[in-house]
Amino acid sequence: MRLDEIKKIGVVGAGTMGQGIAQIAAMAGFEVVLYDLNSKSLKSARQNIVSNLQKGIEIGKLTVIEKEQALTKITFSEHFSDLIADVIIEAILEKLEIKKELFAKLEAQNKMETILASNTSSIPITRIAKDLKHPERFAGMHFFNPAHIMKLVEVISGASTSENTAKVIFELAKQLGKVPVLAKDAPGFIVNRVARNFYVEGLKVLEEQVSDVKGIDRLLESSGFKMGPFRLMDLIGVDTNFSVTTSMYNAFHQDPKFRPSRIQEQKVDAGHIGRKSGKGFYDYSN
């Protein structure tokens, strides 16, 4: 597969990350099919993409014609059989077995040249690709939230990922207007390994009652961070953040510095998972 042979991109999962990936792929001129089991998620994804494109017009980064052209490029589908493309990017739950099952099905219904990629932020690429017939055509393509704005993309090679696959994904990321960085298949890759301390230490300060959520966020924001750890966890999703921390904790054989927070776990159990639920460490109901 070469970059110039990529005409159609499939995106699995119409959540925050999936819809962002679908949007930028369509804006780059690719045909896109955005798949999700949930029709409500697809409806919400379309509304959010339209809203994002409209904001682009309002700030002068996009024209009305470009908005309409991008929307005509995206097909929103509940039918798995529609997921036939040159590159397919997964953006679903951070659960290894679910991802493995998904990619086995995708591999079975697509041509031999199709490149499969995961937007996983913490699960080893080698583990996901382990049972694929052609793991050399599988790689990590980790976007950052919000995907239609954030420039960085980690391109991760598993133990079996071919040099050509990594190269094509790297060039594709540039075609999507991103800044790609090559990474090895280590726990948390680059960004999440470094960022884990940002979240975990913030939660430890909260657990020890050194300060409250607002105080910790204010301190970090006054130090130059655009968002404190709790505002950022609410944006990403408290559940997603907790899942990544748990995954890294286990990947590093329960190293105490990656220990998940009981406060965060309680938030997840209560369904207080951030902006998407209306409540997390902050209340967004009003």
Domains identified in the chain and CATH numbers: 3-184 (3.40.50.720), 192-276 (1.10.1040.50)
142 is catalytic: yes
81 is catalytic: no
Digit-coded pLDDT (tens) for 229-275: 999 999 989 998 998 899 889 989 999 999 999 999 999 999 999 99
With cut-offs at 50, 70 and 90, classify the pLDDT of residue 285: confident
For the cut 80, the answer to whether the pLDDT of residue 113 exceeds it is yes
Instruction: Please answer whether residues 203 and 261 qualify as being in contact, where contact means their C-beta atoms are separated by less than 8 angstroms.
Output: yes
Q: Which of 181, 187, 166, 194 is nearest to 122 (CA)?
A: 187
For the cut 90, the answer to whether the pLDDT of residue 1 exceeds it is no
Sign of CA dihedral 162, 166, 167, 169: positive
Q: Which of 90, 94, 107, 154 is catalytic?
A: 154
Cα–Cα distance between 260 and 240 in angstroms, integer?
12
197 is catalytic: no
Any bridge partners for residue 283, and if so which? 279
Q: Which of 41, 122, 192, 241 is catalytic?
A: 192
Question: Span 196-219, mean pLDDT?
Answer: 96
At residue 122, the pLDDT reads 84
Any bridge partners for residue 181, and if so which? 154
Digit-coded pLDDT (tens) for 33-45: 999 999 999 999 9
At residue 125, the pLDDT reads 96
Alpha-carbon torsion, ordered 173, 179, 185, 186, to 10 deg: -150
At residue 145, the pLDDT reads 84
The alpha carbon of 195 is separated from its chain's Cα centroid by a whole number of angstroms, namely: 15
253 is catalytic: no
Q: Which of 119, 121, 122, 241 is catalytic?
A: 121
Question: Span 115-129, mean pLDDT?
Answer: 94
Digit-coded pLDDT (tens) for 88-105: 999 998 889 999 999 999
pTM strictly above 0.85: yes
Alpha-helix residue ranges (DSSP H) falling in the chain: 16-27, 39-58, 64-73, 96-109, 125-129, 163-175, 191-207, 213-222, 229-236, 238-251, 262-270
At residue 116, the pLDDT reads 98
With cut-offs at 50, 70 and 90, classify the pLDDT of residue 221: very high
* First vs last C-alpha separation in the chain: 49
Q: Which of 180, 263, 276 is nearest to 235 (CA)?
A: 276
Cα–Cα distance between 240 and 22 in angstroms, integer?
20
At residue 251, the pLDDT reads 86
Instruction: Count CA atoms closer than 13 A to 156's CA, side-chain side.
Output: 29
At residue 12, the pLDDT reads 98
Digit-coded pLDDT (tens) for 193-203: 999 999 999 99
Q: Which of 9, 23, 17, 15 is nearest to 52 (CA)?
A: 23
Q: How many CB atoms lie within 10 A of CB 218?
A: 13
For the cut 80, the answer to whether the pLDDT of residue 286 exceeds it is no
- Mean pLDDT in the chain? 95
At residue 213, the pLDDT reads 97
Cα–Cα distance between 166 and 80 in angstroms, integer?
26
Sign of CA dihedral 184, 186, 189, 190: negative
Q: Which of 90, 142, 148, 247 is catalytic?
A: 142
